[in-house]
Amino acid sequence: MSDSEPPTAKAAAAFERTLLVHFHEIDRAGIVYFARIFEYCHRVYEELLAEVVGPLEPFFQQKDWGLPLVHAEADYARPLRLGDRVRVRLEVERLGERSATFAYTLTCAATGEPRARARLVHACVSLGDGFAPRPLHPDYVAGLRRLGLVAAQGP
CATH of the domain at 21: 3.10.129.10
Q: What is the largest CA-CA distance in the chain?
A: 48
Which residues participate in catalysis according to the annotation? 27
Q: 155 in a domain, yes or no?
A: no
CB 117 within 8 A of CB 105: yes
Mean pLDDT across 130-136 = 94
Given a cut of 90, is residue 58 above it in pLDDT? Answer: no
Residue predicted with more confidence, 129 or 38? 38
Q: 92 in a domain, yes or no?
A: yes
- Containing domain of residue 27, as a range? 15-146
pLDDT band at residue 154 using 50, 70 and 90 as cut-offs: very low
| Domain count for the chain | 1
Q: 5 in a domain, yes or no?
A: no
Q: 35 in a domain, yes or no?
A: yes
Mean pLDDT across 86-95 = 97
19: nearest Cα among 51, 48, 46, 41: 41
Mean pLDDT across 109-129 = 95
Q: 3 in a domain, yes or no?
A: no
Count of CB atoms within 10 A of residue 20's CB? 11
Q: 10 in a domain, yes or no?
A: no
For residues 51 and 143, give the distance between their C-alpha atoms in angstroms, rounded to a whole number.
Answer: 8
pTM: 0.89
Mean predicted lDDT score pLDDT of the chain: 90
For residues 145 and 109, give the distance between their C-alpha atoms in angstroms, rounded to a whole number.
Answer: 26
Give the pLDDT confidence score for residue 153 in this predicted structure.
59
